[in-house]
Structure 1
Amino acid sequence: MSAQSATTGQVLEFKLGDETYCVSIDYVTEIVDIGELTKVPNAPPHVEGVMDLRGRTTSIVNPKAVFGIDEAGEEKRIIVYDPEIVQTQSAAGWLVDEVYQVVQVSPEQVDRSPANDNGSIRGVVKRDDEFVIWVDPAVVHAAG
């Protein structure tokens, strides 16, 4: 099966450091401003803490730590994911520098990821003069 056949649809684009990333819009429940985070003792290094979102305790993950991104950037928004994608069925959100837009991706725009990772990178989207890295939060949270 080619990467292209499994990687089309609408994606939400966001910024981490100097690069643009995207996730399938199907995983996203909402986008919120960063609020008060409560640190959790002995949490994995990629977990920044937890916050209360509409009465639900939500784990806040820093995807820069997950993907090994060193570039500084001010995290301003949280992408909140559907609890169904997280193995523990708990709510999770990612700290991102900026959220851009939702765009339609066609099969011919997607190339297989050059990285031999754990499947967390679905592909690379070619758009105009840039590349957008398509990540799969379900795989990230299953591995994390």
Structure 2
Amino acid sequence: MSAQSTTTGQVLEFKLGEETYCVSIGYVTEIVDVGELTQVPNAPAHVEGVMDLRGRTTSIVDPKTVFGIRDDSDGQRIIVFDPDIVQDQGAAGWLVDEVYQVVQVTPDQIDQSPANDSGSIRGVVKRDDEFVIWVDPAMVHSAQ
């Protein structure tokens, strides 16, 4: 599927390290501050721990580990995803440095990703003088 045929719509932009990323807003259920995380023994390297969000045990994933981003800053916010996207893994959230805004993207703003082996990158959104990497959390979690 080419990025030009990707359905457009609203995306939530967030910061990981020095780069800006985005996900389709339809995947997001809420954004919360980082709270107390409980470490899980023998968890995969990308799982920072779990936390209780409204009575539901939610796995907190560090997308920097998943995407190979080398950055020592601590995540400040958690983007919580619709549990349906992580299939059998239950509720999940991503630990991100900062959440920016929800923006509308159009087909002419989207270029195909130069490297998309796993399918987790939907494309690159061109905006002003910067690029925003559009990731698909459903594909990221299915590859883990």
TM-score range, shorter chain: over 0.9
Match of 2:119 in 1: 119
Letter of the aligned partner of 1:98 in structure 2? E
Residue 89 to residue 39, structure 1, CA distance change in 2 (3 Å): closer
Indicate the percent of aligned positions where both proteins have the same amino acid.
81
Match of 2:142 in 1: 142
Runs of 4+ in 1 over 6 A off after TM superposition: none
What secondary structure, in the 3-state scheme, does the structure 2 residue paired with 1:113 have?
coil
Letter of the aligned partner of 1:126 in structure 2? K
Match of 1:73 in 2: 73
Contiguous gaps of at least 5 residues in structure 1: none
Match of 2:110 in 1: 110
Cα distance in 1 between the residues matched to 2:72 and 2:41? 24
Q: Shift of residue 86 of structure 1?
A: 0.5
Match of 1:37 in 2: 37
Cα distance in 2 between the residues matched to 1:137 and 1:2? 18
Contiguous gaps of at least 5 residues in structure 2: none
Cα distance in 1 between the residues matched to 2:26 and 2:89? 16
Cα distance in 2 between the residues matched to 1:71 and 1:65? 10
Cα distance in 1 between the residues matched to 2:115 and 2:47? 24
What secondary structure, in the 3-state scheme, does the structure 1 residue paired with 2:95 have?
strand
Match of 2:58 in 1: 58
Residue 78 to residue 139, structure 1, CA distance change in 2 (3 Å): same
What secondary structure, in the 3-state scheme, does the structure 1 residue paired with 2:78 have?
strand
Aligned-residue RMSD, C-alpha: 0.9
Cα distance in 2 between the residues matched to 1:83 and 1:109? 29
Cα distance in 2 between the residues matched to 1:70 and 1:94? 16
What secondary structure, in the 3-state scheme, does the structure 1 residue paired with 2:142 have?
helix
Cα distance in 2 between the residues matched to 1:66 and 1:31? 20
Q: Does the alignment pair 1:83 with 2:58?
A: no
